[in-house]
Amino acid sequence: MTELAVLPPRSARPAAAPPVRRLLLVGNTRSRKGRRGLAEAQEALRREGYGFDTLPLSPDQDLTARVRGRRYMVDAVAVAGGDGTLNAIAPALLETGLPLLVLPTGSANDLARTLRVPPALPDAVRLARTGELRTIDVGFANGRPFFNVANIGLGALVTENLDSGLKRRLGPLAYPVAALRTLRRARRFTARIRGAGWDVEVQTFQISVGNGRYYGGGTPIEAQAQIDDGQLDLYSLEVSDLLRLLALAPRLRQGRQRLSAQVRVGACTRFEVETRRRWPVSLDGEILTHTPVTFTISPQAVRVFAPAG
């Protein structure tokens, strides 16, 4: 299939991080793993001498409003959790402009992988002093932000099958296990894709739109994808049957799906996807909207602490 030209990267130069003295620590306390991760993050911050206020995620409260009320009391927001927790804090970061310190205590930690944040909490905490402030893009699906990837079809069904118990037991391996479970009922669906010169109707197993580099526990969205290149990367798995989909799996795991003639790939700043029936759309591992869906990007929208150099 025809491959779209990729826009040239326009990454912002990382800036030296201003002094950080006090942080707002956000964490998910609704699961045992979340509570443990939050406690470990608190201990790591104390050992490094930081002051912090803890803000647990609460489904019945407006997280953005709660962060807004503290924006002049803290220097940055630290998030202890996985990609779903980071997705929940994205609107607050966009509104307040507070920089983000990622403390990877989730199952997949794909944004942390993209930013090369160390997996050990003490090392991640030290980025607030030793790291650089990198400015990254944020994707949007029907106005809802996402850092890593949006999925329609197979990927969204995997999200629905990925329960918290499976993630707790298997960690990143929970994603391929959930994918194998989902394949038993995988079916192609009809979609119309518009953007970057496309206006096509396709039969596909999955449409993925990536803003970052990784999803699903370390799978590249596209081999050359970057989270600060000002563009979205789309791929559509237009294989004819399940056996060909399985044969494609190694290339997907390496981000090399563009080498297959049965995968439509392209990069753009806006895509529109319509489907014959309403399909769920997962954003960073959470079902947050449905088709029809418009994907857009806000370049250089959030500041994050990342390793120097």
**Identity (one letter) of the amino acid at 104?**
P
State yes or no: is 286 an active-site residue.
yes
CB burial of 103-116 (b: ≥16 within 10 Å; e: otherwise) equals bbbbbbbbbbbbbe
Give the Cα separation of 303 and 94 in Å (integer): 9
Compute CA distances 186 → 33, 183, 223, whole Å: 30, 5, 25
Q: Which of 40, 272, 274, 286 is catalytic?
A: 286
DSSP 212-228: SSEETTTEESSTT--TT
- CB atoms inside a 10 Å sphere around CB 282: 25
Q: How far is residue 165's CA from residue 163's CA, in Å, rounded to a whole number?
A: 6
Of 267, 269, 239, 268, nearest in space to 251 by CA: 239
Q: For residues 52 and 55, give the distance between their C-alpha atoms in angstroms, rounded to a whole number.
A: 10
Dihedral (Cα; 98, 99, 103, 109), 10-degree rounding: 100
CB 250 within 8 A of CB 35: no
Q: Which residues are catalytic?
A: 286
